[in-house]
Structure 1
Amino acid sequence: MEIRHTTNPADVKHYTTERLRQEFLVGGLFEANKINMVYSHYDRLIVGGVLPVGEALKLEDRETLQTEYFLERREIGFLHIGGGIAVIAVDGKAYELSKLDVLYVGKGRQDVTIASKDKNDPAKIYLVSATAHAEYPTRKMTAEEANPTHLGSLETSNERVLNKYIHADGIQSCQLMLGVTTLKPGSVWNTMPAHVHDRRMEAYLYFDLNDDARIFHMMGEPAETRHLVAENEQAVLSPPWSIHSGAGTSNYSFCWAMAGENYTFSDQEFIPMKGLR
């Protein structure tokens, strides 16, 4: 597992493009028969990718976590982003996931494996894990069950559908929140006007882009904005002090996941357009 340490916003404003990418952009998550993960010291969030082509892959990393099993002091959310049916087994009970289905697994589950139902049509699974101090039951949710919310408009280039999966009124968790936003054709902007929530970090995974499409992910303090150019199936780690917004060269989907002190969407601080520089 790769480890990323926290950064100081006073230092980040002096970073080169390459340094910004090294600190905040996460690529190469989906490799055949591997579980690739990045451990962020921002709220100790872990993001990862799984592309199971052969045998089932066991979720584990004792060397990094220094625990007997992965979810000894953690919870996790799995999102199916494409391909065939995924089969995730939790302490012997199997759950099948299709595209945009989410499975939450709570603290204390000891044996978690990830596989594809058909190795000739492998699933592609994105995972996000946060620390947990309480146990919540394992639960699967489809996109339809996530009660899609329609936001924005084509006139402002941000017509989109928001699916909330893991949150206070959906799948219950200790601190992890997770959802997916899909932009309609002709729309490119997400989360505008931009905002920050200093009590929680956030991670974005951009997906469903063509190979020649790109996302310009906006970050940095409101008066010291920077950007990252992201490709399909790359993630961005967003510090609590940073805005997180973006625009694509086409429409796309992204998974947003949060961890931190507050378990709410209402503590956002929206930044007026005149406050961005």
Structure 2
Amino acid sequence: MEIRHATNPVDVQRLNTTELRERFLIENLFQADKLQMVYSHHDRMIVGGAHPIHESLELADAETLKTEYFLERREVGFINIGGPAIIEADGESYELSKLDALYVGKGTKKVLLSSKDQSNPAKIYFCSSLAHAVFPTTKIDLAKATPNHLGSKETCNERTIYQYIHAGAVQSCQLMLGVTILKEGSIWNTMPAHIHDRRMEAYLYFDLNADARVFHFMGEPNETRHLVVSNEQAVISPNWSIHSGAGTSNYSFIWAMAGENYTFADMDVVKMEQLR
């Protein structure tokens, strides 16, 4: 598990491109038969990826967490972006097709991640946050996720937001998670921008062609910076930062939030004239 410490906006003003990428961009999440994880001190979110092919991978890192098992004081949300996945939680097995999700609550002792078909292996993305109460393990099919249609062709941001883990669907302690899918011809997400000082957020950009890129904008509204992001790379977004992107083509991304409150409505919208 890689550890990344929290940052503040004054420090970020002085970072060069390499330093920005080292602190906020997560590359190479999906490596064959490996579990890759980053522990962010922003709200203690863990961002991870699993690409099981020949064997099952156990969700575990006792050395970093200093607990008996991974979910002793945590909850986790999984979304599969590859071939059919199988997730076993304390002996109960769940099969996930592409863009199906699974919430696993605090107190689950053993979680195994595997692929149903080695020739079409799964790619399982996950985010884990601290938890103080127990909620049941629940599978969420894409077809049953709450859709929210936003944007327009005229502003190049026609998109559908699917809410998986939130108060109106599958509830958790802190974690909120979903998928945003941009329609063909649309490239912008989350613009006009906003911040939510009570929650951090993590993005995983996916379904991009090899030569496509997303320019992810971050930083304080009056001191913006950007990261150039490739397919299946993730970004840590601190609670003081905007989080918006523009792609060279349409794309999809998984968003996950954790922090003090538990509502989508608590955000401070940034007017376009405030951006610098």
Give the corresponding residue for 1:185.
184
The letter for the 1-side match of 2:38 is V
**1:147 offset after TM fit, Å?**
2.5
Give the corresponding residue for 1:229.
228
Question: TM-score, structure 1 length as denominator?
Answer: 0.99
Q: Is 1:64 matched with 2:64?
A: yes
Give the corresponding residue for 1:28.
28
Question: For residues 5-84 of structure 1, what are the structure 2 equivalents within 5 Å?
Answer: 5-82=5-82, 84=83
Work out the number of aligned pairs and report it: 276
The letter for the 2-side match of 1:154 is K
Whether the 8 Å contact between 2:81 and 2:99 is mirrored in structure 1 is: yes
> Residue by residue, what CA displacement relative to the aligned partner does 1:65-102 show, whole Å, maximum 9, x if unpaired?
000000000000000112x2100000001000000100
Give the corresponding residue for 2:207.
208
Give the corresponding residue for 1:92.
91
**1:119 offset after TM fit, Å?**
1.4
The letter for the 1-side match of 2:172 is S
Whether the 8 Å contact between 2:35 and 2:51 is mirrored in structure 1 is: yes
Runs of 4+ in 1 over 6 A off after TM superposition: none
In 2, Cα distance between equivalents of 1:261 and 1:47: 18
In structure 2, stretches of 5+ residues that fail to align are none
Aligned-residue CA RMSD (Å): 0.5
Q: Secondary structure at the match of 2:186?
A: coil
**1:7 offset after TM fit, Å?**
1.0
Q: Is 1:244 matched with 2:243?
A: yes
Whether the 8 Å contact between 2:146 and 2:169 is mirrored in structure 1 is: no
In 2, Cα distance between equivalents of 1:240 and 1:147: 25
In 2, Cα distance between equivalents of 1:121 and 1:212: 22
Question: TM-score, structure 2 length as denominator?
Answer: 0.99
**1:8 offset after TM fit, Å?**
1.6
Aligned residues with identical type, % of pairs: 67
Give the corresponding residue for 1:259.
258
Give the corresponding residue for 1:273.
272
> Residue by residue, what CA displacement relative to the aligned partner does 1:22-64 show, whole Å, maximum 9, x if unpaired?
0000001000100000000000000000000011111100000
**1:148 offset after TM fit, Å?**
1.6
In 1, Cα distance between equivalents of 2:148 and 2:43: 28
